[in-house]
Amino acid sequence: MRRLLLLLVLGFGVSALTNADDRVEHGDWASQFREGMGEASTHDNGTAMFGMLCANRVCRYYFANGTPCEPGTNYPLMLTTKAGAVALDSVCEPMETANGEVMLYWFSESAQLNDALSRSESVGFAFPLTSGHFRTNVFSMAGYNEAIGRMVGVLLEGKNQPSQGAEASPAPEQVPDGDPVPTDIEIKKI
């Protein structure tokens, strides 16, 4: 079921990047919709992407930095926010685009993570490489709250436009597939 959802969301993400039905810019972020699915995303000067895709009332974050990976394999990421740093376990899945295959690293949302992201002016990812070094990317969060609020408001709450101050994510009980949204991510000050 999880793999099927990822494949559906991956397929949407590819077409949505170039052919969105409804794309709106929100500062450094954008929100868009296609065939009942939504995406909110930003980029790091064209070298990496960070965003959230939602389908069937389930939302997942993704990160893409051009680093090859083994599909279906878990990879660690370090995410830094204004609230602190958190280690994330991501799953690699390939996505076909007009420019070739892109590897995406997916990780789950949680209320605590959403709150930390919504309060940050920028976030950074540290991605460990086999050489022992890290590849880093920094993303502006200007427009994050508006992009996520619009996407979630339209998809999960059935609104045409989200109200001011709309929540950035659904409550855990809104996830219909029976899998609770993880809330055990511990964000530590660094």
Higher pLDDT, 158 or 180: 158
pLDDT at 62: 94
- Region 51-66 average pLDDT: 91
- Mean pLDDT, the chain, integer: 77
Phi and psi at residue 115, to the nearest 5° = -65, -45
Distance CA 73, CA 168 (A): 28
Distance CA 97, CA 81 (A): 30
pLDDT at 85: 94
All structural domains of the chain:
2-174 (2.60.40.1880)
pLDDT at 159: 60
pLDDT digits (tens, 9 = 90+) for 86-115: 999 999 998 776 667 889 999 998 999 999
* Residue 124: closest CA among 93, 88, 151, 75: 88
Higher pLDDT, 130 or 95: 130
